[in-house]
Amino acid sequence: MTILFTRFPLESLFGGAEVQTLSLMKSLIARGHDVSFVGSCPVLSVEGAKIGVDTSTVHIGKPPVTKWDALSFLWRKRAMKKALEQMLENYTDTPDVLCMLSLSEKILLTPFALKKGIKVLWIEHDSVGRWLQGNPWLSTIRKISSSVTTVCVSELSAEMYRTMGYENVHCIPNGVESPSFTASVSDTTDITIGCIARLSPEKGVHVLTDAVQHLSNVTLIINGRGTQKIEESQKVHVINRVHDIDDIYKKIDVLVLPSIENDPFGLVVAEAMLRNIPTICTTACGISKYIQSGENGLVVKAGSAVSLRDAIEILQDPESRNRIATSGKVLAETHFTVERMVDQYEQLFSV
């Protein structure tokens, strides 16, 4: 199949959405598909080219995801629509499948692509917030959604999109590549906790730092960058950059994702599980819907430092860590592999 990915984001970060899109594109190429990317996302353009994706950069303007951009979209959309349609017309071989990752092309290019007989998938990696729930273009999006397939990365996100009126919503959990190592569970009550997250309030890192302040024999390593300032101490260490994410995983006994607002999936939880590292996440994380708390992970109330502290204390017990790590690895191997993810996308492509 010939598959075209598009993304025209407000900003380009090397986050979970980009990691998953690159992983999907790489795996589709490995299975013999012809994969291309067009958009204004530098990360996908540059990194995609490195894995054999035919990439093209096109700038059409900002998507309607802020108050001003949604308003100005009213008079900007004609030129944007023309540029998108011209981009698609320029393809010698019309794509069989068009995977859209951002709002502009979902609104403006979808009707044109459908008329050309292209199967359209809307892939939803972004968290659901007021930018979408209160968007003045939401009624238009709802109408178009009946003619496409919307893919969410967790059942939690899928439920939110269905509630907003989207039709034909499917859930395909994110997939993680096989890790290069498997962690051994230590037999001590002295533990190092890891948190891999963007440093911004919605990720709840500040709640986690509050939770560990009065815990004995606990050290916290935070890996991430962002606008939020996290105060370091003897207990709390911030590492902004690492060459290899396994450099963090090899240092920790427990992975915590303390998100306090909608986190569509929670990729680092799946990564840790596959490495045999026990995990704690909150009810705001999409991956929490797959976890049986107390068996293959711990799920706590979002925004509660007390709940986080209680969960960490449970995992100071080596037997609990070992049991949850073992069961979590089985869960991840069953549901969160790249192979399973790509299988499910190929099934949707063929429907």
Rounded-to-integer distance, Cα 34 and Cα 57, Å: 18
Give me the pLDDT at residue 162, please: 96
What class has domain 2-175+337-350? Answer: alpha beta
- Which tokens belong to 281? 């996440």
Query: Is 17's pLDDT higher than 90?
Result: no
Q: What CATH architecture does domain 191-335 belong to?
A: 3-Layer(aba) Sandwich (3.40)
Query: Is 351's pLDDT higher than 80?
Result: no
Confidence bin at 131 (pLDDT 50/70/90) = confident
CA distances from 73 to 6, 76, 105, 230, 320 (A): 19, 5, 12, 37, 53
Residues contacting 18, CB < 8 A, separation 6+: 12, 41, 43, 44, 47
Residues contacting 114, CB < 8 A, separation 6+: 120, 147, 148
Give me the pLDDT at residue 52, please: 96
SS (H, E, C) 112-156: HHHHCCCEEEEEECCCCCHHHHCCCCHHHHHHHHCCCEEEECCHH
Query: Is 259's pLDDT higher than 80?
Result: yes
For the chain, give the percent of residues with pLDDT over 70. Answer: 100
Residues forming a β-bridge with 124: 152
Q: Over the stretch 28-63, which tens digit does the pLDDT of each residue have?
A: 999 999 999 999 999 999 999 999 999 999 999 999
Q: Which residues of 59-96 are buried (b: 16+ CB within 10 A; e: fewer)?
A: ebbbbbbeeebbeebeebbeebbebbbebbeeeeeebb
Residue extents of the structural domains in the chain: 2-175+337-350, 191-335
Mean pLDDT of the chain: 95
Mean pLDDT, range 239-256, rounded to an integer:
94
Mean pLDDT, range 211-233, rounded to an integer:
93
**Cβ atoms 30, 53 nearer than 8 A:** no
Best CA proximity match to 4, nearest among 132, 82, 97: 97
Best CA proximity match to 80, nearest among 103, 50, 114: 103
* Helix H or strand E segment including 100: strand 97-100
Residues forming a β-bridge with 268: none
Are 2-175+337-350 and 191-335 in the same CATH fold? Answer: yes
Give me the pLDDT at residue 129, please: 85
- Write the Ramachandran bin of 231: left for phi over 0, alpha for psi from -120 to 50, otherwise beta: beta
Best CA proximity match to 66, nearest among 120, 146, 9: 9
Q: Over the stretch 153-211, which tens digit does the pLDDT of each residue have?
A: 999 999 999 999 999 999 999 999 999 899 999 999 999 999 999 999 999 999 999 99
Rounded-to-integer distance, Cα 49 and Cα 55, Å: 6
Q: List the single range of 143-157, 230-244, 265-279 with lowest mean pLDDT.
A: 230-244
Query: Is 149's pLDDT higher than 80?
Result: yes
Give me the pLDDT at residue 111, please: 97
Give me the pLDDT at residue 93, please: 87
CA distances from 296 to 192, 280, 281 (A): 19, 10, 11
Rounded-to-integer distance, Cα 213 and Cα 66, Å: 37
